[in-house]
């Protein structure tokens, strides 16, 4: 029964995120926000709402390993699986601004998280994301939002009105989509956490492994669907922006808010996964910088990396 409820929870998460993204994207279009910024903010935050719901719910239940494993696992899945498979379908053009600003900011997030959860080795205390750490993460998130708003303000005048859908947008309808989608995300996230914990205990899996695999992949389905769809429609700026924005949101907001709500005790094994996350972001920067795009061959390399990583964590458990 737990497997059925877990599947139902994932379906509610994905559909809720779908409504949330559609509603918020339409509202953003009315406000004349450029496609890259839609990918970095509205779409990225919307598709990351499942991670937020799951991690905050896990923190409240005292299962911090699922909260942290979910974020680290989701970020790894986003970069080396989703961008990998998306680039294999359609090579992804990466804008210069993304290469020199957004990807380095995502890398900064990975490094900051590693430092905060490695405090057992730095100051000889237990590995913990404290409320103080949460404040630090949310401060970085505020800086990122300020940067995004500045970019939006400067680029809004350059945004061509011809790119907008001439058909009138039913704003009340999309507001309902946004609110209803968010409610479904919260409910689905609670279902996922409850049943993932039960399954982990029954199978003898660690909470960290469940967070890195089952929960991380499940909550990243909206990013997968959104990025593949964007690539098929030749909207690579939304596909890449979605992933980079989601990873930034996951670390700075999701873990920041989760640890402020309830301090998170961290399994030391997650440090290795955090190093993998840093390495994957560095490789993404190199791939994006060399050709200003992610080629099919580089996408295949990402897929091989993810297969190797999954083999490693399953053997480790």
Mapping DSSP onto H, E and C, the string for 115-161 reads: HHHCHHHHHCCCCEECHHHHHHHHHHHHHHHHHHHHHHHHHHHHCCH
Examine the pLDDT at 121 and tell me if it is beyond 70.
no
pLDDT score of 164: 47
pLDDT score of 161: 46
The token duo for 301 is 């390399």
Residue ranges of domains in the chain, CATH in brackets? 2-316 (1.20.1420.30)
Examine the pLDDT at 299 and tell me if it is beyond 90.
yes
Strand partners, 265: 128
d(CA 258, CA 138): 10
The whole-chain average pLDDT of the chain stands at 81
Of the given ranges (63-67, 89-93, 132-136, 298-302), which has the lowest mean pLDDT?
63-67
Q: What percentage of the chain carries pLDDT values higher than 70?
A: 85
Neighbours of 172 (CB within 10 A): 8
pLDDT tens track for 148-194: 877 766 665 555 544 545 555 677 888 888 788 878 877 877 787 67
d(CA 103, CA 243): 10
Neighbours of 232 (CB within 10 A): 12
pLDDT tens track for 216-228: 887 777 778 777 7
Tokens 């399994």, residue?
267
pLDDT tens track for 141-157: 999 888 887 776 666 55
The token duo for 50 is 């499942």
DSSP string, 7-56: HHHHHHHHHHHHHHHHHHHHHHHHTT--HHHHIIIIIHHHHTHHHHHHHH
């Amino acid at each position: 029964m737990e497997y059925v409820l877990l599947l139902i929870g994932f379906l509610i998460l994905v559909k809720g995120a779908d409504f949330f993204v559609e509603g918020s994207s339409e509202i953003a279009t009315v406000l004349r926000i450029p496609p890259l910024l839609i990918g970095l903010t509205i779409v990225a935050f919307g598709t990351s709402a499942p991670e937020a719901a799951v991690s905050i719910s896990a923190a409240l239940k005292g299962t911090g390993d699922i909260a942290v494993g979910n974020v680290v696992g989701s970020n790894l899945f986003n970069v080396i699986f989703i961008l990998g498979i998306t680039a294999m379908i359609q090579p992804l053009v990466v804008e210069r601004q993304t290469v020199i600003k957004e990807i380095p900011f995502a890398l900064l997030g990975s490094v900051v998280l590693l430092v905060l959860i490695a405090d057992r080795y730095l100051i000889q205390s237990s590995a913990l994301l404290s409320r103080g750490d949460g404040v630090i993460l949310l401060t970085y998130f505020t800086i990122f939002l300020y940067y995004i708003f500045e970019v939006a303000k400067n680029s809004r005048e350059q945004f061509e009105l011809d790119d907008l859908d001439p058909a009138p947008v039913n704003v009340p309808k999309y507001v309902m989509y946004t609110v209803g989608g968010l409610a479904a995300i919260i409910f689905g996230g609670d279902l996922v956490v409850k049943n993932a914990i039960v399954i982990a205990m029954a199978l003898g899996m660690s909470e960290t492994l469940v967070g890195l695999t089952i929960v991380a992949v499940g909550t990243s389905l909206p990013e997968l669907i959104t990025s593949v769809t964007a690539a098929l429609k030749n909207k690579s700026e939304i596909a890449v922006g979605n992933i980079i924005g989601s990873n930034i949101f996951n670390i700075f907001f999701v873990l920041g808010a989760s640890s402020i709500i309830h301090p998170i005790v961290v399994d030391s094994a997650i440090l290795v996964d955090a190093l993998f996350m840093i390495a994957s972001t560095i490789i993404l920067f190199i791939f994006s910088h060399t050709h200003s795009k992610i080629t099919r061959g580089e996408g295949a390399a990402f897929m091989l990396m993810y297969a190797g990583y999954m083999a490693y964590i399953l053997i480790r458990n």
